[in-house]
Structure 1
Amino acid sequence: MNRPDVVEALPRMVVDPPAVPASCRGRLVERARWQWRPADGGDPAAYAEQFLAEHGLHLRDLRRPARRHHPHGICGAALYVSAAAGALLAGGAPGAANPADVPEVAVVVYGHTEATHPRPGPPPPWWRGPWTESWSPRQHAAAVTAIREAIGRGEVYQVNLVGHARATYTGDPLPALARLGRLPGARYGGVLTGPGWAIGCASPETLIEVRGGTLTTRPIKGTRPATAAGRVDLLASAKERAEHIMIVDLERNDLARVARTGSVRVDDLFAVRRWCDLWQAESTIRADVADGLGLADLLRAVCPGGSVTGAPKLAALDHLAALEPVGRGAGMGALGWVGPDHLDLGLTIRTAAVDGDAVHVWAGGGITWDSDPAAEVAEAAAKTTPVRTALT
């Protein structure tokens, strides 16, 4: 097992990755780390489960958590799985190469510290250059048209196209990423750092939560400006509702693979929530955890998230690999928290990654037969605007 776990070499900085328990924010310190890239080989889901077990987080049966949260021992771990790693776990096409120098899977184990930390001073200098897009609006629109043609041929029902942009920078990017994580509605707001890289997340979407023997996912599909007229338009849109229902059905099927038979249910359908200056439609799907379900099998079932791939999932991944000019990197993956008594992973929409050279962002939307190419290009721009603004 490729497991670089050299504790002495790890940074001793207090961090707040997404979905950390509220009582532990501001008092975490890194204890161990494992990272994976495709060249390492092997099964990253199995490796992640094994690594966590070696550090006291036993996740081989999620229906029976090993113990409750210990205030003075290992708190838990941040878990990150990229979209490409998720595609590999699902047996699908991973797509183009990652444009950012960031691992495809990372697990970081944290303990508690009671040390007091000085109040931060003014943020260090930070400068970000202009954005360079991975495709032009015309190329994006052409990809939408290609998906519509594939739908017309019966190859797919829906595909979520994603674009990418990069910008060079100087200075310390971490305060900007932390500012991103504080955007309104960021259920999974936070920052995960590594040697030479960092991920900032402002995601409102739950990929998978496991708590008290219950699986929960909250897919988001459907977007409008956060105005009174926008809310009415979203609720009345037959196109958005049809797109949303397709993804709800896909997520129900994903959960059924790892749930007790007959336990999958939709508790809330097409509820309108706000994220920054956008309305978005969200549903809540729950199921009972199957006996013996472990972390590795859970990741294989739910990654990559259906709301950012499409339906059928494997066919959608084939089309994405053919059409998207660069890889999704840290976007459209999974990032969150693994504790001794629960698991809570967000889908990395509204997410940025930083490596030694550039800051990277991703945004897109679901394409159906009724999609208008120009409207889809505009929707992706609306989603990425708050992220880019936070990184200014």
Structure 2
Amino acid sequence: MSENGPDGVEALPMRLVDVPAAPAGCRDRLTERARLQWWAADGGDPAALAEEFLAEHGVDLRDVSRPARHAADGVCGAALYLSAAAGARTAGGPPGAPTPVPALPDLVVVVYDHTDRPATPAPDRAPGGWWLGRWRDSWTPEAHADAVQAVRAAIGRGDVYQVNLVGHAAATYTGDPLPALARLAALPGARYGGTLAGLGWAVGCASPETLIALEGGRLVTRPIKGTRPATEAGRRELLASAKERAEHVMIVDLERNDLARVARTGSVRVDDLFAVRRWCDLWQAESTVSAAPADGLGLAALLRAVCPGGSVTGAPKLAALAQVAALEPVGRGASMGALGWVGPGRIDLGLTIRTAAADAERLHLWAGGGITWGSDPAAEVAEAAAKAAPLRALLAAG
């Protein structure tokens, strides 16, 4: 685990903060105050560490049920990133296969102060430009299809109802990866578009999915499940699919149960069910589930309740995590975790689907989908490829 205090960051030049969900009016006048980086091997509870570190540095989220206001000066808030492996730990599940990006921490908290110093433009890029090599997948289409069949067999035995399977790909690069990762935010439907970076690593996100937010005094999650091509025929097919609706409702029920663990009794409700939204050239089904936070609810307890997100695990959650750990050959790294902003009276964390990461040598990308008894292996392989395609194209652009 590592921490940087103000002395370690004040000498750095000001840069526009590009963290997903950061306050739009503050992004050009923020300076890093303190940073926490934690890896699973460090031990401890990442949810508790995040809550404690934030409180120590002026972002007190030990009771999110109390109204709080964003101040125009002083501490603004913080970027918060939690990996899928860290989320599995908070839930009491297995961590899964080793990450392909060991330089990337499993928890990052970066606290920002408001400043009067103007942000400076990004520096000129090094000569030679950007080059991205060929993507190499961590499993073949045949291995992916076999994993789908293994999940169907587990469902047939009654071990699980649904499991989300995720594949990984990596490509070598030359040049600066951060501009390529930043381009992902421009993808249509990227509600949580943005970047976060540290020494030897960077993450770029184009996620459309809300893992957990605090909006108008209510906790909100927006699970996404169900995908079709963004055509009129695709929209009709998605709306008419009994398989997709059953898969979706299963996850909505899981999210209702997750929120009920930290909600005021009787306050959980489904505000919108199976609404069709567009992300790039895909239709996806999204629901909205909300609840009033229980009195005294802290950020740590909230993270333990909702991480990892039900739409990227399956149901029941712990049984699905066991299947994920057994079947996925490569860890989920930056994907299927949480990334966004927390501050006084505000929580807005996206689920890190449609997310890429860079280390010193390679770019990494993940994509997958939910598997039910009615899943067709070839269709599941094609769906994962369709989700990854817009990111691959944009990352390769010069």
TM-score (norm 2): 0.95
C-alpha distance in structure 1 between counterparts of 2:347 and 2:13, whole Å: 24
C-alpha distance in structure 2 between counterparts of 1:319 and 1:368, whole Å: 13
Determine the structure 2 residue equivalent to 1:35. 37
C-alpha distance in structure 1 between counterparts of 2:195 and 2:116, whole Å: 21
Q: CA deviation at 1:117?
A: 4.3
Q: CA deviation at 1:9?
A: 2.9
Q: CA deviation at 1:29?
A: 1.8
C-alpha distance in structure 2 between counterparts of 1:12 and 1:388, whole Å: 31
**Identical positions, percent:** 72
Q: CA deviation at 1:28?
A: 2.1
| Amino acid aligned to 2:144 | H
Paired residue secondary structure (1:240): helix
Equivalences for 1:294-333 in 2 at 5 Å?
Answer: 294-333=298-337
| Amino acid aligned to 1:181 | A
Q: CA deviation at 1:120?
A: 5.2
Equivalences for 1:254-265 in 2 at 5 Å?
Answer: 254-265=258-269
1:210 to 210, 214, 217: 214
Q: Which runs of no fewer than 5 residues in structure 1 stay unpaired?
A: none
Determine the structure 2 residue equivalent to 1:195. 199
C-alpha distance in structure 1 between counterparts of 2:209 and 2:312, whole Å: 11
Determine the structure 2 residue equivalent to 1:108. 110
Query: 2:176 matched to 1:177?
Result: no
Query: 2:49 matched to 1:57?
Result: no
| Amino acid aligned to 1:69 | H
| Amino acid aligned to 1:43 | D
- After superposition, give the CA deviation of every residue in 1:15-54 in whole Å (9 maximum; x if it has no partner): 2100011211232221110011122111111111010001
Q: CA deviation at 1:122?
A: 6.9
Determine the structure 1 residue equivalent to 2:74. 73
Determine the structure 1 residue equivalent to 2:295. 291
| Amino acid aligned to 1:9 | G
| Amino acid aligned to 1:27 | R
TM-score (norm 1): 0.97
C-alpha distance in structure 2 between counterparts of 1:305 and 1:119, whole Å: 36
Equivalences for 1:232-243 in 2 at 5 Å?
Answer: 232-243=236-247
C-alpha distance in structure 2 between counterparts of 1:108 and 1:62, whole Å: 19
Query: 2:148 matched to 1:149?
Result: no
Determine the structure 2 residue equivalent to 1:8. 7
Query: 2:90 matched to 1:89?
Result: yes
RMSD of the TM alignment (CA)?
A: 1.3
- After superposition, give the CA deviation of every residue in 1:201-230 in whole Å (9 maximum; x if it has no partner): 000000000133211000000001111111
After TM superposition, the runs of 4+ consecutive aligned structure 1 residues lying more than 4 A away are: 117-124
C-alpha distance in structure 1 between counterparts of 2:116 and 2:231, whole Å: 44
Q: CA deviation at 1:119?
A: 5.0
Paired residue secondary structure (1:9): helix
C-alpha distance in structure 2 between counterparts of 1:42 and 1:349, whole Å: 26
C-alpha distance in structure 2 between counterparts of 1:224 and 1:275, whole Å: 10
C-alpha distance in structure 2 between counterparts of 1:108 and 1:121, whole Å: 22
Paired residue secondary structure (2:28): coil
Determine the structure 1 residue equivalent to 2:27. 25
| Amino acid aligned to 1:329 | G
Paired residue secondary structure (1:391): helix
1:162 to 163, 166, 173: 166
Contact 2:3 2:36 (C-alpha < 8 Å) held by counterparts: yes
| Amino acid aligned to 1:390 | L
Paired residue secondary structure (1:232): helix
C-alpha distance in structure 1 between counterparts of 2:121 and 2:85, whole Å: 39
C-alpha distance in structure 1 between counterparts of 2:281 and 2:193, whole Å: 16
Q: CA deviation at 1:7?
A: 3.0
Contact 2:14 2:118 (C-alpha < 8 Å) held by counterparts: no
Contact 2:14 2:119 (C-alpha < 8 Å) held by counterparts: no
| Amino acid aligned to 1:61 | D
Greater CA deviation, 306-315 or 36-45? 36-45
C-alpha distance in structure 2 between counterparts of 1:256 and 1:373, whole Å: 34
- After superposition, give the CA deviation of every residue in 1:58-102 in whole Å (9 maximum; x if it has no partner): 11111014x411122111000001000000000001100111120
| Amino acid aligned to 1:53 | A
C-alpha distance in structure 1 between counterparts of 2:31 and 2:183, whole Å: 21
Contact 1:63 1:212 (C-alpha < 8 Å) held by counterparts: no
| Amino acid aligned to 2:94 | A
Greater CA deviation, 23-32 or 363-372? 23-32
Determine the structure 1 residue equivalent to 2:338. 334
| Amino acid aligned to 2:285 | A
Paired residue secondary structure (2:331): coil
Equivalent pairs counted in the alignment come to 390
Contact 1:123 1:175 (C-alpha < 8 Å) held by counterparts: no
Determine the structure 2 residue equivalent to 1:225. 229
C-alpha distance in structure 2 between counterparts of 1:162 and 1:92, whole Å: 17
